[in-house]
Structure 1
Amino acid sequence: MRFAGKVAIVTGSGKGIGKTIAQKLVLEGALLTVTDVNKQTCEETALQINQAGGRAIAVEADVSKAEDTRRIVDKTIEAYGRIDILVNNAGFVKDARINDMEENEWDSVIDVCLKGAFLCSKYVSSHMIEQNYGKIVNISSRAHLGNPGQANYSSAKAGIVGLTRALAKELGKNNITVNAIAPGLIETDALLHHPKYEKIKELQKKDTPIQRIGLPEDVANAVLFFASDESSYISGDLLHVSGGRFG
């Protein structure tokens, strides 16, 4: 198994893409810290992993708060003694046109999506430096190219790309790789329950060379590549998982 004995933190892993990433890492032998702002989904995901024969701890946390990110790291070290993989997945959208966007709508998205990745990388990387080994995978988005009505989210996800490349240059000498993934439209529960799901699905098929909506597994497979030693000479890169759609 690719990740036997490796310790991974996946933020925002109570549900959706993050949960799928966590489950796939465990299937490949990783020891997991499941962390989410929602205590119930966080604990449920960890319980499901443990009941299936894996090993996971649950840490309820808001990654936009330094004290919470330190607690994620402390609990992981306490449970496993090291951290090998960090997946900065936590994020959410709060869409509005720029003239209608409130300051708190800007701040909240930037804080979770971008500041959260900064804080987690800051506190996790100190342990990775000591180990002279680490894999950081940041979840950006195709929105980093700019989406109308998503100035906050697009800015945060573009910032993730810049953060990724800065950290890759900074941490490379410590045998730490830092890469990012930019998913396109992914079929999460939220999308499946969207009132305009069928229309969205048809538009996606029309506008995407690979004519389907992406699956959480598509993103997770890319994450596992960057988290593995198969990508040991790749750092600072951005991989689009968008079915060939870039605009």
Structure 2
Amino acid sequence: MSATVTSRVSSVLRKGLFVDKVAIVTGGGTGIGKAITQELLYLGCKVVIASRKIDRLSKSGEEMKQNPYRHSKSDLSYMQCNIRKEEEVKSLMDYTIEKYGRIDYLVNNGGGQFPAHIEDITLKGWNAVIETNLTGTYLCSREAYRTWMEKNRGAIVNIIADNFRGMPIMGHSGAARAGVENITKTMALEWAQYGIRVNAVAPGTVYSETAAANYGDLDVFGQAVEQIPAKRLGETQEISGPVCFLLSPAASFISGITLRIDAASSLYMHPNFYISDHKNLPPYKWSDDPVEDDTSSAPKSKL
């Protein structure tokens, strides 16, 4: 039997900075969410992580509880919650208040998508992705506001994606994340009077075992490196640090922004997407003659 490898956890922020603070992290048991949770624990925070898949969540939660790098005053709890379900989200907030007495921070990291061209996405698949990423973020934010933050202040960080040039092969997710970015701005304005800051973080191509498993045989990460100016993939800890910064007092005058964490990828080529040569966009013609339709042989864009 191989020994369990303990992740080295640290932070550029002062250890213990979040002692006596309480955070909820949706999707906090895997990938970027797990990195955020571990850094919060290092900083002394009490954290409730939530996910729809309780088996994976409990396994990850117990592992993080045993991590020797977390602060002695931190604590971790986990709860099954489908963020698409209003009553389950309300239960998550009630549980956190009952357990820890407050909700200082909310990180809306829970989400999901699958690779597919727009024309191949079924309505069921479309609704599932929109409801998980957009509706789930809305419900968690609304209930955190109603349950605690309206009267006690707080900070929210929404995790979106690099969708600023469209999101080929994941148009459902791109649409949902664009909605989250917009509602981030609206919440930042509407809730400013209650002392609530709301920001978004847009990771570029960040490797995690969970994300790699979701893509199956598609070599998303291998193809992306060439199109990242840094010529390497991001790491989950490179997302968790900025998230904790946005929650911290150092960001007390920052609200309504989207922080791109992508090594300038959004200014460069489009990762994982290539359009084959074609002649299917006819030139402009001032003529009454019908334009020849040659779209039947159009090659499909590929990863």
Structure 2 residue runs of 5 or longer lacking an equivalent are 1-15, 271-303
Q: CA deviation at 1:95?
A: 2.5
Q: Is the 8 A contact 1:211 1:243 kept in 2?
A: no
Give SS of 2:265's match: coil
Runs (4+) of structure 1 moved beyond 6 Å? Answer: none
Tell me, what secondary structure is at the counterpart of 2:158? strand
User: Within 2, Cα distance between the matches of 1:20 and 1:200?
Assistant: 19
Cα shift at 1:189:
0.3
Partner residue of 2:50?
A: 35
Alpha-carbon distance in 2 for matches of 1:179, 1:61: 23
Distance of 1:45 and 1:173 partners within structure 2: 37
Task: Indicate if the aligned counterparts of 1:205 and 1:212 stay in contact, CA closer than 8 A.
Answer: yes
Letter in 1 for 2:251: S
Where does residue 77 of structure 1 map in the other structure?
A: 97
1:129 to 145, 150, 153: 150
Q: How does 1:114-125 map to 2 (within 5 A)?
A: 114-125=134-145
Q: How does 1:80-119 map to 2 (within 5 A)?
A: 80-119=100-139
1:7-22 pair list within 5 angstroms: 7-22=22-37
| Aligned CA distance change for structure 1 residues 40 and 142 (closer, same or farther; 3 Å) | same
1:207-246 alignment runs, 5 A limit: 207-246=227-266
Per-residue deviation, 1:57: 1.1
Is it true that 1:57 corresponds to 2:87 in the alignment?
no
Relative to the length of structure 1, the TM-score reads: 0.94
Structure 1 contact 144–157 (Cα < 8 Å) conserved: no
> Over residues 72-113 of structure 1, what are the superposed CA-to-partner deviations in whole Å (9 max), with x where a residue is unaligned?
100000000000000000111122222211001110000010
2:207–2:221: 8 Å Cα contact kept in structure 1?
A: no
Unaligned segments of structure 1, at least 5 residues: none
Aligned to 1:153: 173
Equivalent pair of 2:205/2:221 in contact (CA under 8 Å): no
The alpha-carbon distance between structure 1 residues 80 and 200, as it changes in their structure 2 partners (threshold 3 A), is: closer
Kindly state the Cα deviation for residue 195 of structure 1 after the two structures are TM-superposed.
Answer: 3.7
Q: Which residue of 1 aligns with 2:38?
A: 23
Q: What is the deviation of 1:200?
A: 3.4
Q: AA paired with 1:88?
A: N
Q: Deviations over 1:2-48 (max 9, x none)?
A: 21110000001121111111111010010000111110122123222
Distance in 2 (alpha carbons) for counterparts of 1:224 and 1:244: 21
Query: Does the CA contact (< 8 Å) of 1:144 and 1:155 recur in 2?
Result: no
SS at structure 2 position matched to 1:99: helix
Q: For the pair shown, which has the larger CA radius of gyration, 1 or 2?
A: 2
| SS across alignment from 1:143 | coil
- Amino acid across the alignment from 2:87: E
Which of 182, 199, 202 in structure 2 is aligned with 1:182?
202
Kept in 2, the 8 Å contact 1:8–1:30? The answer is: yes
| Higher relative contact order, chain-length normalized (CA < 8 Å, sep 6+) | 1
Shift of 1:191: 4.6
Letter in 2 for 1:206: E
Q: TM-score, normalization: structure 2?
A: 0.77
Asked if structure 1 preserves the Cα contact closer than 8 Å seen for 2:30 and 2:210, the reply is no
1:166 and 2:177 matched: no
The alignment covers a number of residue pairs equal to: 244
SS at match of 1:13: coil
1:200 pairs with 205, 221, 226, which one? 221
Residue 49 of structure 1 aligns to a residue whose secondary structure is helix
Farther off after superposition, 84-93 or 187-196: 187-196
- Distance in 2 (alpha carbons) for counterparts of 1:145 and 1:158: 11
Structure 1 counterpart of 2:63, from 39, 45, 48: 48
SS in structure 2 at match of 1:74:
helix
- Following superposition, the deviation at residue 173 of structure 1 comes to 1.1
